[in-house]
Amino acid sequence: MRHLDTLIIGLDKALRVMSGIAAASRPYPAGATEDGALDDKERRHSAGLMRINHVGEVCAQALYDAQGRFSDNAQLQQQFAQAGREEEDHLAWTAQRLQELGSRTSVLNPLWYAGAYALGAIAAKLGDARSLGFVVETERQVEAHLNDHLTLLPLQDVRSRAIVDQMRIDEIAHGAAAQSLGAVDAPAPVRMVMQAMAKVMTATAYRL
């Protein structure tokens, strides 16, 4: 029965993540900040970038859940669970911002979630050090991607910028935590594959 309960809980979480249902445990970074004056083109552009960020958080939920589930290390399980809770804040914040911008989340969320879960399971099976190295490289790439978004978002879109900046701070902390637990660097071919996959995801999620 315990395994069945775990399976049901996991499926429920996956369905909530893919459908965009998330609850933040921390205050919304945009807070009471006034929305800047965005024309239709700028609004669509901001929405496309925030949809990419939301997809990234869907993937993060799947990755951390899989890595924690398939690890036998209690300390790592706790770390993945904590990081997953903070990533759920990001999921809720980006979904809220998309709603404010009059847009929607990606229609391909089930695909993104399934692919990320598979990658997380594979990383976990390679051993704790390699799994943590995967986290470090993921967070390094996400940090770079969020830095790019801070330059690409319209200057007057201060609400989106506030969200992205807090996400960037959290991702740096997640990478540092994984590094401190004994991560080994991901091999160069793995880093290149991750970068290629990220490019496909961002190009697709911007529109879909």
Secondary structure (H, E, C), 177-189 = HHHHCCCCCCCHH
Average pLDDT, the chain: 86
Higher pLDDT, 50 or 191: 50
Q: Are residues 138 and 197 in contact, defined by beta-carbon separation less than 8 angstroms?
A: no
State the average pLDDT over residues 147-174. 94
Higher pLDDT, 165 or 190: 165
pTM, two decimals, is 0.88
State the average pLDDT over residues 96-104. 94
Token pair 């960020």: residue? 53
CA angle 73, 78, 79 (to 5 degrees): 100
Name the H helices within 70-127. Answer: 74-100, 109-125
State the average pLDDT over residues 93-119. 91
The model's confidence at residue 83, banded by pLDDT at 50, 70 and 90, is confident
pLDDT surpasses 50 at 194? yes
Percent of the chain with pLDDT over 70: 90
Torsion of CA 2, 181, 132, 204, to 10 degrees: 100
pLDDT surpasses 60 at 192? yes
State the average pLDDT over residues 54-65. 89
Task: Compute the distance between CA of residue 34 and CA of residue 18 in angstroms, rounded to an integer.
Answer: 29
Kindly give, in sequence order, each residue whose CB lies less than 8 Å from that of residue 19, ignoring residues fewer than 6 positions away. Answer: 109
Q: Are residues 205 and 55 in contact, defined by beta-carbon separation less than 8 angstroms?
A: yes
Q: 40-69 vs 109-125: helix axis angle to the nearest 10? A: 30
